[in-house]
A = this chain, B = another copy of it.
């Protein structure tokens, strides 16, 4: 058995957790050139429909690595979401690598070709050989619509392949969302207070023991000269979360600290 956070050991009657892995593909994230913003966006979006991101990987544009990581994580999670590497240039090798991971051929997909052909006719751009690369889709995959810049993503098995540019990734995520089947939805409550973690840690640990079905995270914050701790409770049962939040408010008040609802302003 696992508890609401997938931790082993605790008994729980909660609905099944549906889990996901996010794979960020791109040399530019590992070199530090680009600071990723897709992971937090995807995680928040999926959580709303009952899919929990339990792992993320950042990997380079290297075929062998993409193949082995995709095959590892698609076996371990209900869903896998990738970002990056599906543009028209030589360094965009995600689609070919995913085909290899699934052991299927890859070719220009008729529907993707039609979408791009119409797009370049409309915009007056040339539908170059390079741009046709963006229509290369592994056999058996279904397209993911991209209303913004047209070149589609695709789904094969439980793997969803999206663009790396955040605004394109976001419209693709909207397009694919109806295909997902969520499980338990993790709810959360946040209570903050101007108190050091070390001061409340002991009583907080005792409280956590009495709420095995609620995962309590403690996060120090610094806002200029103001500092304190945000306590985030996550779990599938809103009633239990409210109970835990009430106890945390009382805990803070016991230390003479005024509880702040949510994150500090």
User: Interface on A for B, CB 8 Å cutoff?
Assistant: 5-8, 27-37, 39-44, 47, 52-62, 64-65, 87-92, 125-126, 128-131, 133-134, 165, 167, 186, 188, 196-202, 204-205, 208, 215-220, 222, 232, 234
Contact = CB atoms under 8 A, between A and B. Distances in A.
A175 to B, nearest CB: 20
Among A7, A41, A44, A88, chain B packs the most CB atoms within 10 A around the CB of: A88
Nearest to A22: B58
Contact of A128 (B42, B87, B89, B199): B199
Contacts of A91: 208, 215-218
Given A128-B198, A198-B125, A62 B31 contact: no
Nearest to A186: B31
A91 B201 CA distance: 10
Q: Is the interface of A mostly helix, strand, loop or mixed?
A: mixed
Contacts of A47: 31-32
B30 A218 contact: no
Given A31-B47, A198-B125, A205 B87 contact: no
A27 B5 contact: yes
Contact of A131 (B30, B59, B186, B198): B198
B202 A31 contact: no
A204 B37 contact: no
A126 B202 CA distance: 13
30 contacts: A5-B27, A6-B60, A27-B234, A28-B219, A29-B40, A30-B53, A30-B56, A31-B43, A31-B53, A32-B42, A32-B53, A35-B39, A36-B39, A36-B40, A55-B57, A56-B57, A57-B57, A87-B218, A88-B197, A88-B201, A90-B216, A91-B208, A125-B198, A128-B201, A130-B198, A130-B205, A131-B198, A131-B201, A165-B222, A167-B222
